[in-house]
Structure 1
Amino acid sequence: VKSVNITPWLVEDHFDTTVKMSTYLVAFIVSDFKSISKVTRHGVKISVYTVPDKINQADYALDAAVKLLDFYEDYFSVPYPLPKQGKSAIPDFQSGAMENWGLTTYRESALLYDPEKSSASSKLWITMIIAHELAHQWFGNLVTMEWWNDLWLNEGFAKFMEFVSVSVTHPELRVEDFFLRRCFDAMEVDALNSSHPISTPVEDPAQILEMFDDVSYEKGSCILNMLRDYLTADMFKAGLVQYLQKYSYRNTKNEDLWNSMTNICPTIGNDKNEQQGDGFCRRSQQSSSSAHWTEGETLDVRAMMDTWTLQKGFPLVTVTVRGKNVHLQQERYMKGVDSPSPTGYLWHIPLTYITSKSETVQKFLMTTKADVLILPEEVEWVKFNVDMNGYYIVHYEDDGWDRLIHLLKENHTAISSNDRASLVNNIFQLVSIKKLSISKAFDLTMYLKHERQIMPVLQGMNELIPIYRLMERRDMDGTETQLKEYIVGLFKDLIDQQSWSDEGSVSERLLRHSLLLFACRHGYQPCVDKAKGYFTEWQESNGTLSLPADVKTAVYAVGAQTSEGWHFLLSKYRLHLFSVERANIELALSLSGSKDKLQWLMDQGLHGDIVRTQDLPHIIVFVARNPSGCHLAWTFLKENWEKFVEKFELGSNSISAIVTGVTSRYSTRSELAQVKEFFSSLDEKSAQLRCVQQAVETIEDNIQWMDRNSEKVKTWLQNNHL
């Protein structure tokens, strides 16, 4: 409100009274930062604060924040309750960002954008983080979870609202192309026995920190997306508005949200209770089966969603087509060492499907272990979980997969790119639990030679490259080289089509970035030669040559392979003020084949002078993924565990990233024994961390996978003349 000079060296600041708020949302910053400001359409002053020499990188964040805050005020029909919203870029910051009410804090890389130097991925990332933190001003700040067991009410919603808001305020970013990746990431950890329900009891600080994970964030957002698809966007929004209006400045539990959603239309098919308008409340029959969603059925969102939030894991739906009858069965999908299928798990699954005869999305609520759908006519193929809006995977029995693989090879654009990406993902998940052979999954990947869309291409890479990485670390008599050549061959035409520029849509630019980095890292000679040429020119200009932002990572990765190039990159890293450029160089430096250089890099991250401590977890993981650095990273983890705990806290994302990142590609019994021995030697709280349990389970799964499939991959590659 005002500042009073008490002495020449002392100023007394007077503040206005805060709104009713949770104490974890209070923040003060003492700095000599500069700021720029604008006022939203609703009269809120938004400011971006940075260190003085980076204030010219604040414009994009300010403009994005103005658009997004206006969107949220309109969407939620609940005003932002404060007169101002500050956004501050902190030079060394462990979190990505923090939603302090009225003063959100960010890493510099999550807020600052340079139109001349920033990549497409940087622009997308910054916009999404700003959208996430602004969504928290309602979900988390205005309405706060009662206790940390329901953290997902904050984080799942903020993650989900990123996509809802940015798709409207920044349609050019095409965020819908990237939502699936979040759900695949969540399923990766949710498939393990060490996963946890979205809503789960927590009793100590380490357990609270562990809740800030992919289950709370990514799975939370995915089940909300599924619910919106089920209710329709309009009815889902009506439920949210009711929830926010009813519980403003209050604490809530899971059931408060579901009750608000249920109350949007108390009885389906009862005209006097229907809301006028589009969607769920105006329809009583959505299935081709006459047994479901009958007239007068009560909508019970809580009964449905409790099955998704109060039990861990997710369902596997098995589909068997017999003429016009489609037999459905659900069970929990779970990886594990010959573990029996867990019983007692049952979900209310909002199934969706299309067929060869109809592109119209049919909907069917499955609430029992087994059920039967009756189609109006026999079909060539059926595809369930349309666009993978549901948080479940699907297995097609008999010749169901063969028919879909044939469709992909003959006419892959007959289904959406998200549907194609989900088929790529699902088939490899089914191999992991012995429902399908690896040869069937590899048969499907052959269609990728003709794929041009970002999600299926990246998902193909995300399934195939980890298999190569597992094989690369073993003596496989050349099978790993054959596999690498197969993967490069699949995407060769697409790689060759890429221009080394920053042209195209955000999706096209992100795809280019991923393809060129992959090709150069895996020795595709045309890519390596082009990158070498760019790096030489850049080095000869002493770093003044402006390289296209989207190809820098590939160029630096190749340049760092020589000692001279590595040291030149390091010299630029020491000077560089631009956080995204520092991140590009960090990755390149960690790809060196020199163990001494890799060790030095990790040591510097620990010291925090040249390499910021906030970046240490990333660097350790980068080094661990380098064949020259995998053992170095494990030794570094063991020798510095106590320092990590002191710097990052038990249960934190940083600790989890280090543990899982270092061990995720282990696949031998010797490595498993080492990991178990080390963590069992620590204190009880360290040994019982969820990330440690996840690491052990993942290694066990890798061992089983390699035992079952490595020879089969070799045979498949040979049979396909590769």
Structure 2
Amino acid sequence: MIQPASHARRAPLRCLAAIAALLLSMTAGARAEQAFSFDATPGRLPKTVIPVNYAIELRPDLANLTLPGVETVDIEVKEPTTRVTVNAVNTTFGDVIVGDGVQRADVTTDAAAQTATFTFAQPLAAGRHRLRIAFTAEINRFGTGLFVVDYPTKAGTKRLISSKLEPADARRIFPCWDEPAFKATYALSVMIPRNLMAVGNMPVAHEEPVADNLKIVSFAPTPKMSSYLFVLTVGELERVTADSGGVTVGVVTTEDKSGQGRFALDSAVKLLAYYNDYFGVKYPLPKLDLIAVPGGFGGAMENWGGITFFESRLLFDPATNAESAQRGIFGILAHEMAHMWFGDLVTMAWWDNLWLNEGFATWMSTKASEHFHPEWRNWLNGYGAKQFAMTLDARRTSHPIQQPVADHSEAAIAFDAITYNKGQALIRMLENYLGEQAFRDGIRKYMADHAYSNSTTADLWQALEGAAGKTITGVAASFTEQDGVPLIVAETVCDGAAQRLTLRQDRFVIAPLGAVDAAPLPARNWQIPVAAGPVGGKPFGEILLNGSAEVPAGACGDAIKVNLGDIGYYRVEYGLKNRAALLSAFAQMAVDDRLNIVTDSWALVQAGRADPPSHLALLDAIDPGDQRAVWDQVISSFATLDRLARGRDERPVIRAYSRARLRPVFDRLGWGNGGSADDDATLLRASLISTLGDLGDEGVIAEAKRRFAAFLEDPNSLPNALRDSVTHLVGITADRATYDRLLALARGSTATNERLRYYYAAAGARDPELARATLALTLSNELPGTIVSGMIGTVASRGEQPQLAWDFIQANFDALLAKQGPNFRDQFVPGFMTNFTDAGHAAELAAFTPPQSTSGGRLMVARALETIAISAGLQARVLPVIDAWIRAHKP
């Protein structure tokens, strides 16, 4: 049910603008980047005591979820001290002794700082010492530190434990120096039941049975690495392996699922050889395990030698997966394996340079996908990653790629689209600017120079400049050390028969409507590599735009395209004459350039630099036979408009127009012949089915219901490629009987991807009573903890019951926080509130105190408040204009 407009809480736009203006004090500038120096690295721990080696003995109790342990740490004391401070969370301490046991420490803890301090009666002299710490930590029910997963099997529910430590949760397993600059070696022993398998960073060195049907599993010592890369998984597991240049590559799964790891295993063998060659430094560990975890956390983690994956992100089952799922599996696998070099071998010194890990791994993943699977066209079809980053980067609450990070709560929220997607886009632009070979030579030098150590962005620029013989620091730093998106204003001017192109840079900004009282955003200047040239032709030559420029541009009237190939990280606004020429030549453009024109056109509308009718006229010019990437962008903009119009009078008109534009595309593709081929047409078909159903296409909804009914009688009747889309539409229109059937399908499956398909479909039900049933389900032990937040978010978004879900969150916040952990408080709640677009809910979020307890939470609240204000502005400015244009220009 859509909440009627008369019941929506609305407030003047100036109130939203005032809320957004309050965010100014929370933004911070970037610092000038210097080469790595351990002593100068930011962090909270003193650098007077350094760990060299950890020998860790753990005795996990899977029944009581406790983690007793003892560790012996070889430390280097740089100057005499009576105090040793480490990180620890929810840990109780036994004896802490140094050396031969004569000196015992007094232990004090600081829960807010997540530290424990050991104070000795006599100073520890400078030099080497051995510290022995007895402790008991906790096994968590949420996916950080060492966590428990209860998962269904044909033999009943079983339990395993696994770890997820980035950015700062090794401290939840054992006391440690839990900052990336404190690299050390780790030797782990774990006592577990004999029927279980343990997987760590390194191969098992020794396994010994002990009393009470237990065994001690000891792993070989690791190379020097940061604490967040430590891994431990224990359960009823099985492993299949293959060799890649002397390295044992394995896929580890729960019982009877190892066969589903064959695609990942084969891909990993190829990727390891490819990366060995590209980076010029061979993978240094003797084994690399890919560990499928059926719950706990939703992504993947690049633990050195033992990468953990949420099960559905790694395993491929042709009985339940669409063939196209292999694209996502390969992509996330390529990303995490790239981290074995960018992140694990060479680690950023502090979280302010997280992009050195994530931006590069994201770029390398797409590069590897293009190499092994060019048919997937990953740069083209992955365009949305850059678009999302640019949307966030155009706001007041954006941050530089190299962002100040004060503590663990800010480190946790640094894993965002600026870090990943803008970082990836910048690297692609720089590779294109330097040349592929020179760029690779620079990466090889960087890896060789900083192996087993830490680095900063400045170290990378030095390596690239040394290899390429071309200055890059000024170009790169203008994108990494300041926030914001460049805007290039491009105009053509005729001089007789000749034409000249003028380029002028500005700052592209998306601001809340009416935010005139806010201080203006500071001006920016970038050094921008610009590719400009005629449609269908080659760039005029190298243009490094630093302010403004003017270049010859062919004959008068030629259509000149800026950002040829869509490789640059900038927006383009064309003058009227050149824009008209480009629209006339639209069909002759390469698909990358057509897509770039469409995305920039929509962005200019969002920024208030273009009228909505100009964008709608462009959409009318797109051929129904155009490629998936172009239509995916159209679908995205229609979905945004539909969301903004929820509960407003413009919605029926906008929905009818959207259906009219998309239906010819779908009619061209049809429902398919029952196959599940991995091609763009199949993926576009599935997207159109979901979108048209969301937009109220009665024919598509009816056919989806018919096909689902046939599927219940004969599962082979519905191709895997359509199951998500069909089930989604059945879910949003579900009655009680259908809702119960979806839950029964989820409960009856042991395949994670299937369970998620049906649970999420049920959560999308738009009947308020069914939404309440879903929300109640999130408090039970039935759902994997991994999807609880997602289910609540689905009730609000797909189910269109945001108020119902918000009331539920507030009423049950403590219980949900206990199940979900700190990320629920600091990240999920602010993100959830962007389902609303009014000042009343913005004020509720601003007054909701739990996220305000950490600096990371406060930053997330600030970003969410700005998102709400921007959405309100778009509603007021764009929707009435679009409504009027559609009524006057019916398709």
Normalising by structure 2, report the TM-score.
0.73
1:633 maps onto 2:811 in alignment:
no
Structure 2 unaligned residues grouped into runs of 5+? 1-204
SS at match of 2:487: strand
Equivalent in the alignment of 2:830: 659
The offset of 1:428, in angstroms, is: 1.6
Alignment partners' CA distance in 1, 2:407 and 2:604 = 36
Query: Cα distance 1:582–1:362, how it changes in 2: closer, same or farther (>3 A)?
Result: farther
Alignment match of 1:316 (pick from 487, 506, 526): 487
1:550-602 C-alpha deviation (Å, 9 max, x unpaired): 11122213333232221111101011111121222133212212222222223
Q: Is 1:334–1:341's contact at 8 Å kept on the other side of the alignment?
A: no
Alignment partners' CA distance in 2, 1:682 and 1:376 = 56
- In the alignment, residue 306 of structure 1 is paired with which amino acid? A
Alignment partners' CA distance in 2, 1:252 and 1:687 = 24
Alignment match of 1:150 (pick from 329, 350, 353): 353
Alignment partners' CA distance in 1, 2:476 and 2:837 = 37
Alignment partners' CA distance in 2, 1:435 and 1:152 = 31
Alignment partners' CA distance in 2, 1:450 and 1:404 = 19
Query: Cα distance 1:546–1:377, how it changes in 2: closer, same or farther (>3 A)?
Result: same
Query: Cα distance 1:143–1:687, how it changes in 2: closer, same or farther (>3 A)?
Result: closer
User: Could you tell which deviates more after superposition, 19-28 or 141-150?
Assistant: 19-28
The offset of 1:344, in angstroms, is: 3.3
Q: Is 1:321–1:327's contact at 8 Å kept on the other side of the alignment?
A: yes
The aligned runs of 1:468-483 (5 Å cut-off) are 468-474=642-648, 476=649, 479-483=650-654
Query: Cα distance 1:498–1:70, how it changes in 2: closer, same or farther (>3 A)?
Result: farther
Q: Is 2:826–2:851's contact at 8 Å kept on the other side of the alignment?
A: no
Q: Is 1:160–1:224's contact at 8 Å kept on the other side of the alignment?
A: yes
1:455 maps onto 2:629 in alignment:
yes
Alignment partners' CA distance in 2, 1:644 and 1:417 = 46
Query: Cα distance 1:302–1:152, how it changes in 2: closer, same or farther (>3 A)?
Result: same
1:719 maps onto 2:888 in alignment:
yes
1:177 maps onto 2:356 in alignment:
no
Query: Cα distance 1:599–1:399, how it changes in 2: closer, same or farther (>3 A)?
Result: farther
The offset of 1:95, in angstroms, is: 4.2
Alignment match of 1:329 (pick from 493, 504, 511): 504
Equivalent in the alignment of 2:556: 378
SS at match of 1:603: helix
The offset of 1:684, in angstroms, is: 4.2
Alignment match of 1:19 (pick from 215, 223, 237): 223
The aligned runs of 1:534-613 (5 Å cut-off) are 534-541=707-714, 544-545=715-716, 547-560=718-731, 561-607=734-780, 609-613=781-785
Query: Cα distance 1:95–1:627, how it changes in 2: closer, same or farther (>3 A)?
Result: closer
Equivalent in the alignment of 2:796: 624
The aligned runs of 1:242-391 (5 Å cut-off) are 242-266=445-469, 299-323=470-494, 324-337=499-512, 338=515, 342-356=521-535, 359-391=537-569
Query: Cα distance 1:653–1:362, how it changes in 2: closer, same or farther (>3 A)?
Result: farther
Alignment match of 1:420 (pick from 594, 603, 617): 594
The offset of 1:648, in angstroms, is: 4.3
- In the alignment, residue 78 of structure 1 is paired with which amino acid? V
Query: Cα distance 1:683–1:231, how it changes in 2: closer, same or farther (>3 A)?
Result: closer
Query: Cα distance 1:612–1:700, how it changes in 2: closer, same or farther (>3 A)?
Result: same
1:193 maps onto 2:367 in alignment:
no
Alignment partners' CA distance in 1, 2:772 and 2:593 = 43
Alignment partners' CA distance in 1, 2:437 and 2:779 = 50
Equivalent in the alignment of 1:273: none
The offset of 1:182, in angstroms, is: 0.8
Q: Which has the larger share of strand?
A: 2
Alignment partners' CA distance in 1, 2:283 and 2:375 = 26
Query: Is the radius of gyration larger for structure 1 or structure 2?
Result: 2
The offset of 1:63, in angstroms, is: 1.1
Alignment partners' CA distance in 2, 1:302 and 1:8 = 62
The aligned runs of 1:118-137 (5 Å cut-off) are 118-137=321-340
Alignment partners' CA distance in 1, 2:826 and 2:788 = 10
SS at match of 1:321: strand
- In the alignment, residue 514 of structure 1 is paired with which amino acid? S
1:73 maps onto 2:248 in alignment:
no
1:521 maps onto 2:694 in alignment:
yes
SS at match of 1:78: coil
Alignment partners' CA distance in 2, 1:107 and 1:505 = 22
User: Could you tell which deviates more after superposition, 75-84 or 522-531?
Assistant: 522-531
The offset of 1:9, in angstroms, is: 2.5
SS at match of 1:472: coil
The aligned runs of 1:679-718 (5 Å cut-off) are 683-685=852-854, 689-718=858-887
Alignment partners' CA distance in 2, 1:374 and 1:665 = 48
1:304-347 C-alpha deviation (Å, 9 max, x unpaired): 10111110111111112112222211122121134575333111
The offset of 1:170, in angstroms, is: 3.0
- In the alignment, residue 239 of structure 2 is paired with which amino acid? S
SS at match of 2:778: helix
SS at match of 2:221: coil
SS at match of 2:538: strand
Equivalent in the alignment of 1:215: 418
User: Could you tell which deviates more after superposition, 370-379 or 231-240?
Assistant: 370-379
Q: Which has the larger share of helix?
A: 1
RMSD between superposed Cα atoms in Å:
2.1
- In the alignment, residue 678 of structure 1 is paired with which amino acid? F
Query: Cα distance 1:368–1:173, how it changes in 2: closer, same or farther (>3 A)?
Result: closer
Query: Cα distance 1:583–1:386, how it changes in 2: closer, same or farther (>3 A)?
Result: farther
The offset of 1:649, in angstroms, is: 4.5
Alignment match of 2:232 (pick from 13, 23, 28): 28
- In the alignment, residue 122 of structure 1 is paired with which amino acid? A
SS at match of 1:502: coil
Alignment partners' CA distance in 2, 1:550 and 1:350 = 40
- In the alignment, residue 735 of structure 2 is paired with which amino acid? T
Normalising by structure 1, report the TM-score.
0.89
Alignment partners' CA distance in 2, 1:644 and 1:389 = 42
Equivalent in the alignment of 2:308: 105
The offset of 1:658, in angstroms, is: 4.8
Query: Cα distance 1:151–1:100, how it changes in 2: closer, same or farther (>3 A)?
Result: same
Query: Cα distance 1:538–1:372, how it changes in 2: closer, same or farther (>3 A)?
Result: same
SS at match of 2:208: strand
Equivalent in the alignment of 1:56: 259
Alignment match of 1:401 (pick from 565, 579, 585): 579
The offset of 1:376, in angstroms, is: 4.0
The aligned runs of 1:153-168 (5 Å cut-off) are 153-168=356-371
Structure 1 unaligned residues grouped into runs of 5+? 267-298
1:445-480 C-alpha deviation (Å, 9 max, x unpaired): 112343431111000111122112211222x1xx31
Q: Is 1:521–1:557's contact at 8 Å kept on the other side of the alignment?
A: no
The offset of 1:418, in angstroms, is: 2.0
The offset of 1:605, in angstroms, is: 2.7
- In the alignment, residue 443 of structure 1 is paired with which amino acid? A
Query: Cα distance 1:687–1:16, how it changes in 2: closer, same or farther (>3 A)?
Result: closer
Query: Cα distance 1:470–1:627, how it changes in 2: closer, same or farther (>3 A)?
Result: farther
Alignment partners' CA distance in 1, 2:819 and 2:868 = 27
Q: Which runs of at least 4 in structure 1 moved beyond 6 Å after TM superposition? A: none
SS at match of 2:854: helix
SS at match of 1:199: coil
Equivalent in the alignment of 1:296: none
Equivalent in the alignment of 1:284: none
Q: Is 1:521–1:558's contact at 8 Å kept on the other side of the alignment?
A: yes
Alignment match of 2:656 (pick from 472, 475, 485): 485
Alignment partners' CA distance in 2, 1:612 and 1:217 = 27
- In the alignment, residue 384 of structure 1 is paired with which amino acid? V
Equivalent in the alignment of 2:102: none
Give the share of equivalent positions with the same residue, in percent: 27
Query: Cα distance 1:121–1:45, how it changes in 2: closer, same or farther (>3 A)?
Result: same
Q: Is 1:448–1:490's contact at 8 Å kept on the other side of the alignment?
A: no
Alignment partners' CA distance in 2, 1:142 and 1:207 = 24
